[in-house]
A = this chain, B = another copy of it.
Amino acid sequence: MRYLIKISYDGSKYCGFQIQNNKETIQECLESVLSKVVGERVSIVASGRTDAGVSAIEQVCHFDTQKELVEDRVKGYANSQLPSDIRIISVERVDENFHARYSAKRKTYNYCFYISESTIPVYEKFATNIGYNVNIQAMRDACKEFLGEKDFSAFCSSNTEVKNKVRTIYEIGITKLDDCLYVLSITGNGFLYNMVRIIMGTLVEVGLGKIDICQIKDIIHSCDRTKAGKTISAKGLFLKKVIY
């Protein structure tokens, strides 16, 4: 039987989602608790891994088991065993054809940032200060250059084995949350390794006047990682939602 679990986590203390030797990861933590709760060794498949320091408002995973589970009991017992920075939102039985990674149609990521001469400690908990002198309107205008189906090789860490780097961005925009606090929201059919952080890093360079909006098309066409902006800090990045 296959079960879908929705989870939410604060990734700031973890070395990312995916299991690594001798490192604290979300997956290791979840598998160890769920194995105990289910009573057999459980392997978790997520919609995608998130990097070290990246959090999720809602991440979707699945696991298989021989046992028929009482969903709410699994949720309650697992939450009582999990650390408070990882929560199971829901557990539900799904068809064996459902796959948390391959069935995902769209994902939305949020990147929280603020624009300030000084550090604002409260915002530092969940956002990155991109500095004082950025032109937020230029950043907003630049967003639309990323819309549509494109080869995003220039916006992918070279540290990847993925061959096909064509992805489609359906929506991208910047919303003001408060005086100097903003969120970039980006929805696509999938994201390459570090793609959101490199897009955000490029938008910051547009805001600083280091990259002109009309250059973005060329950067995309170049398929050259060195032409795009820096990979911005993971702090501020959240997996917001996965749509199936």
Contact = CB atoms under 8 A, between A and B. Distances in A.
Contact of A121 (B8, B110, B121): B8
- What is the copy number of this chain in the assembly? 2
B121 A84 contact: yes
A124 B57 CA distance: 11
A151 interface: no
Contact of A10 (B56, B118, B122): B122
A125 interface: yes
Contacts of A10: 121-122, 124-125
B121 A9 contact: yes
B57 A120 contact: yes
A55 interface: yes
B118 A87 contact: yes
Interface residues of A, number: 28
Contacts of A226: none
Given A125-B126, A126-B126, A119 B8 contact: yes
Nearest to A110: B178
A232 interface: no
Contacts of A121: 8-10, 55, 84-87
A113 interface: no
A89 interface: yes
Interface in A87-139: 87-90, 110, 117-126
Contact of A177 (B56, B87, B90, B177): B177
A73 to B, nearest CB: 16
Given A125-B126, A126-B125, A120 B87 contact: yes
Contact of A89 (B8, B86, B118, B183): B118
Interface in A53-102: 55-57, 84-90
Given A55-B122, A125-B126, 18 more contacts: A8-B118, A8-B119, A8-B120, A8-B121, A9-B122, A57-B120, A84-B121, A84-B124, A86-B121, A87-B118, A87-B119, A87-B121, A89-B118, A90-B118, A110-B178, A125-B125, A126-B126, A178-B183
Interface of A: 8-10, 55-57, 84-90, 110, 117-126, 177-178, 183, 238
